[in-house]
Each structure stands twice: as structure tokens, then as C-alpha cells.
Amino acid sequence: MSEKQRQCCAVLRISLDCNACCRKVRRILINIRGVDTHVIEKKEDRIIVCGRFRPSDVVVKLQKKMKRRVEILEVEDLTGGEEGFHDNEPPYDREHEYSEQQPDHMTTPLLC
């Protein structure tokens, strides 16, 4: 199962000032492919979105359409531990250690 087709539930934070903002967010979420359900909590300035999507794609779409900052508060994977998802891996792999023999950027002269 690819990254795009992952079933997940994301909690997002966006500033919702009025009912018109909520309606606009609702229209945007309905038109995003892969979003099954959504809940808009105006008092808490939160949106809960569930479906088969990448949370970063939803954030980018909301930021572009609403012209507001959107934060990802929480992402819950609902696929149930299928292969291809490695939650126990470190976020990066250190292939090699840097040696002390590399030149320091502060002492290297600039060549113009």
C-alpha cells in the first residue's frame, strides 16, 4: 500500500474566525480527493480529517485556499500495521560519521 493510500485520521489547527470561514473550509475539504469524513470544531480552531490521503497535501491545499497558517497537531494511522510502514525506524539513517579532517567553514577563505 503506497503512502498516498494510507488510511489515517489527522487533527489540524487553523484559525476559524467566523461561520463563513467554517463554510469555506468545509467546501475545500469536500473537494479534496481521498477525504472521507471531517469534523470542524470552531471553538477549538481544530479540524479532524479522516480518509485515504497524505496529511501534508491537505495542509498545503488549505493554506493555499484559505491563506492562513495550518498546523498538523496529530496524525493517527488507521491501516493497522501493514507492511511497508516502519514506525520503529529512526527518522534518519546515519551512514557514516564525519571526520575531523574536513575543513571548517569558518576558517576556509572565500574565493571570489
Has residue 32 been placed in a domain? yes
Give the angle 99-106-108 at the CA atoms, nearest 5°: 80
Residue 9: per-residue pLDDT: 94
Pick from 23, 48, 77, 21: which is nearest to 58 by CA? 48
Distance CA 30, CA 50 (A): 12
Residue 85: per-residue pLDDT: 46
Q: Which domain holds residue 14?
A: 7-77
Residue 43's CATH number: 3.30.70.100
Has residue 91 been placed in a domain? no
In total, how many domains does the chain have? 1
Residue 5: per-residue pLDDT: 62
Q: Which regions in the chain score pLDDT beneath 50?
A: 1, 3, 83-86, 89, 93
Has residue 89 been placed in a domain? no
Distance CA 81, CA 100 (A): 41
Residue 74: per-residue pLDDT: 92
DSSP state of 108: S
Pick from 16, 32, 18: which is nearest to 69 by CA? 16
Has residue 112 been placed in a domain? no
